[in-house]
Amino acid sequence: MKKPKINIRKIVKVISIVLVFVIVGVFSIFFSIYFSARLNKDNVIVDKANITLYAADNREIENENIARYVSYDNISPNIINAFIALEDKRFYKHNGIDYYRSAGALINNIKAGKRKEGGSTITQQLAKNTQLSNQKTLNRKIKELKLARDIEKQFSKEEILEMYLNAIYFGNGMYGIDSACRNYFNKSPKDITIAEAAYLAGIVKSPRNYSPLNNLQKSTDRKNLVLKLMFEQGIIDNESYDKGVNFVYSKPEQESIDLVAPYYRNAIVEGSKLLGISEKELMTKGYKVYTYYEQDYQNILYKAYLSKEFECVNEYGSVASYASMIANNNNGGIAAYFSNFNNSLYSFRRQPASAIKPIMVYAPALEKKIITPATPVLDQKININGYSPENYAGQYLGWIDVQTALKVSSNAISVDLVNKTGLEYSKNIANRMGIEFSSGDVGLSLALGGMEHGVNFAELTSAYMCLAKMGKYTKNSFVRAIYDKNNNLVYSAPTLFDNIRAISKETAYLVTDMLCQTAKSGTAKKLASLGINVAAKTGTNAFPGNKNNLDAWCVSYTPSVTMCVWYGDLDNSKENAVKTTGGNYPALLTSYLYRSLKLENSNFLPPDGIISLDIDRYALENEQKLYLANMFTPQECIQKVYFDADNAPSEYSPYFDFENFHFSVNTLQNNNVSIIFRGVKPYKCKLFRQDMLTGEVVEIDINQICDEVSYLDYVDNSTAYNYYIEFFYDDKKLNYSPSQVVFT
C-alpha cells in the first residue's frame, strides 16, 4: 500500500497565512496600546515630592530637603555628563528611543538567558517615572515608547534632563537631585565634583544596594564604572579619571543637619511597606503620613550625638556606629530615632547577645512555672550534648538564685534554663513577644543571642515594651495613620484594644522586677543613680579572638517609655570592632538620655496575681532550699521576693524555728541531773550551769550544735542550780536564753 503524498506547498501556504494573521494581530495590538498612551504634560513637570508628614501633636513636619526643584542652569555639568555616560550615551542623538541600545540589550539578554540589562533612554525613564506605574509589563513598555516620543517633541533636551534629575529617587527618603546632593555631600547640585557625580549616577539603578550610606563597597565599584564610561566616551581625561577612582566617599559633617531626616526616612520605608507600594510612590502621590514623632525627644538624641561625649573610638581610631531609639509605651509609637549611619532600621539586623535573655530565657521559664525569682540555680561549667558555653571572664558563682543569675547575666544558667524549658517553647514565647527567627535558629546558643540573622532595632524594642506593658505585645511603629491625596484613610495603626497577650501579666512583672535589680546593681548599674524606676539589660557580642566587640546593647524601660541603644561594627571587621561592652557606653548614653527626658518617677504596679513573700535567705544560700521565713527568722535572714501566686513556695523554713525547741532538766538520785534539749538550726548553742548559792558559772561541754542532746550531769553537793542555754548566730548572741532551776 502506497503512503499518501505530503503536499509541502499546501502546508507552507497554511503556515504563511497563519503567520500573516499572527503578525497582523500583534501589530494591531501593539499600535492599539501605543496610540492609547496620552502624555499628561502637567505630570512631567515635577516641582517637588508630594508628601506631608505630621508629628505626634499633628503639627506638620517641615522637610525642605525633598521639596526643592533645581533648574538646569543650577545643575553641575559633571552630574549631566555622569548620568548621560551611564544611562544614555546617545541622548543628544535620538528622538526618545535608542534603537541601537535596545537591540544590543535584547541580544545580550537572549545570550544570558535572562533580563540582564535594559535599553531605556533617559527620556523613557522620565516617561515611566512621571506617567506610568512601576509594573514590569509589555503594555507599560509599549506606552513608554509612545510617551518618550511625545516628550521629545514637546520639550528640549535640557528640559528633559532637568525634569529627569528632579524626578529621580535616590533612596533613604531623598527625592530629586537637590535632596541627594545636600544629604550625600552637603552641597548644592552646581558644586558637585566628577567623582561625586559618578556616585550619584551609580545610585539610581538600585538605591538600596548602591547607596554609599548602605553599602560603600558596592557604591564605590559602581562609581568607578561610571568614571570608566565617562573616560571611554571622551567626557573626562585620564587625570580626572585617576583622581575620581582614588576618591572614596565619606559622610560629611553637616553644619545644619535635618533632625527629622533619619526618623523621616524610616517612616517612609515603613509607610510604603504598610501600603504595599514603593517608597517613591508613597513620596510622590500626595499621601499624608501621621507619625509618632516627638521633636523634644529627637532633639535630645541629636544633642547627645553632637556632644561627642558618647563617641566610642577604638585603638585603630575607628569611631563606633551607634543608634538610639525612644518608644512610647502608651501607643507603641517610635517617638525618636537617631543613628550615626543610614542603614534602614528594618534591614539593620544585629546579634542581640545577652539582651535576648529576658525574652528568650527568663520569660519562658517563668511562664512555664519552672522557676521563680528566688529559685536556687547552680552557676557552674556545663556541657549539654557537646555545647559548653563560657561565662564572661570565665567566672562562675556556684549556687545563686534566679534573680542574681539574670543580674550577673550567667551564660551557663541561661543555656541550662532554655534546655529545661524547651527550645521550641522558648522560641515560641519570644516570637509572641516580637522576635523573628529564621530556619537556621535551632541551637541552645539562642539563649545567648546566637541567631543566624539577629534582630532589628524595632523587634528588640517591641519585645522589651511587651514587658513594660505587662505582657501585651504591640509592634513598634513610626506610622499611626496614612491618608491618600483625597483624604481617605488608607492605614490606621492598631489601637490599645488590639494589643496581643503574649505572656501573663505575672511573668512580665517578675521579669521587670528582676531587671530593675539589674539596673541597680547588675550589668546595667550605670543607671542606678537615675532616681527613677527603670528596668534594663545589657548585652555584648564579642569579636572572636579579639578583645573588642561587634555589638553592645543596653535595652531599658520605665512605665512610660522603652529605650534601646546599640553600639557596634557594621562591617564586622577587626579594625572597626568596638571598644565597649553593653554596660559601658550604651549604658552611659542610656543614663544621659533618661536624665535629659526628665521623666516623673512612677512605679511598675504589680498585677493581682503577684504576691510578696518573705523567704528564708539562710536556707536559700546555705542549703539551696526555698522556704518561707517563719515567725522566728532573724530580720537579717529575711528576703522579700515577688512571686506568681500560682507558683509560690508554701513550706515554712525549719531553720530558726523555736516551735521545735525543747529543753528539760530533771534531778535523779545521787546528785545526778538529766538534761535533754533539742536545738534550733542553724543556731550554735552553749549550755551553762550556775550555782545559785555561790554564783559560779560552768560551761558544760556538750560538743553539739543544734541537735537533740541527752546529757547526764553530776554535781558534788546538794544545792540549787540554774541550767541555761545561750544561742549564737553569725557569732552574735541571741537575746534569748531559756533556763531551768533544779534542786539536788
Helix (H, G, I), strand (E, B) or coil at 220: helix
Contact (CB, 8 A) for 700 and 689: yes
Contact (CB, 8 A) for 578 and 568: yes
Other CB atoms within 10 A of residue 567 CB: 28
Contact (CB, 8 A) for 373 and 514: yes
Nearest to 594 by CA among 566, 562, 568, 567: 562
Q: What pLDDT is recorded for position 267?
A: 82
Dihedral, 329, 333, 339, 344 alpha carbons, nearest 10: 130
Q: What are the helix (H) ranges across 422-504? A: 423-432, 457-468
- Tell me the C-alpha to C-alpha distance, in Å, between residue 379 and each of 72, 382, 401, 422, 708: 70, 9, 9, 19, 35
Identity of the amino acid at 650: S
**Residue 318 DSSP label:** P
Supply 387's cell numbers: 555545647
Q: DSSP states of 248-291 as a string?
A: -------TT--TTHHHHHHHHHHHHHHHTS-HHHHHHTTEEEEE
| Grid-cell match 530533771, residue found | 666
Contact (CB, 8 A) for 134 and 120: no
Supply 79's cell numbers: 552630574
Reported residue count of the chain is: 744
Dihedral, 539, 584, 570, 319 alpha carbons, nearest 10: 180
Instruction: For residue 166, count CB atoms less than 10 angstroms from its CB and return exposed for 0-12, middle for 13-18, buried for 19 or more.
Output: buried
Distance in angstroms (rounded) separating the CA atoms of residues 121 and 125 = 6
Contact (CB, 8 A) for 164 and 122: yes
Distance in angstroms (rounded) separating the CA atoms of residues 503 and 238 = 66
* pLDDT tens string 358-383: 999 999 999 999 999 999 999 999 99
Q: Kindly give the pairing relationship between strand 684-691 and strand 561-568.
A: unpaired
Distance in angstroms (rounded) separating the CA atoms of residues 738 and 538 = 52
Contacts of 552 (CB under 8 A, 6+ apart): 538, 539, 540, 541, 566, 567, 568, 578, 580, 581, 582, 584, 585, 586
- Tell me the C-alpha to C-alpha distance, in Å, between residue 376 and each of 279, 635, 647, 681: 53, 20, 15, 20
- Which residues in 357-436 belong to E strands, given as ranges? 376-379, 398-401
290 phi, psi to nearest 5 deg: -95, 125
pTM above 0.75, yes or no: yes
- Residue numbers of the chain with a pLDDT score lower than 70: 1-7, 9-18, 20-49, 63-67, 100-119, 131-144, 173, 253-263, 342, 496-498, 703-707
Distance in angstroms (rounded) separating the CA atoms of residues 63 and 60 = 9
Other CB atoms within 10 A of residue 360 CB: 31
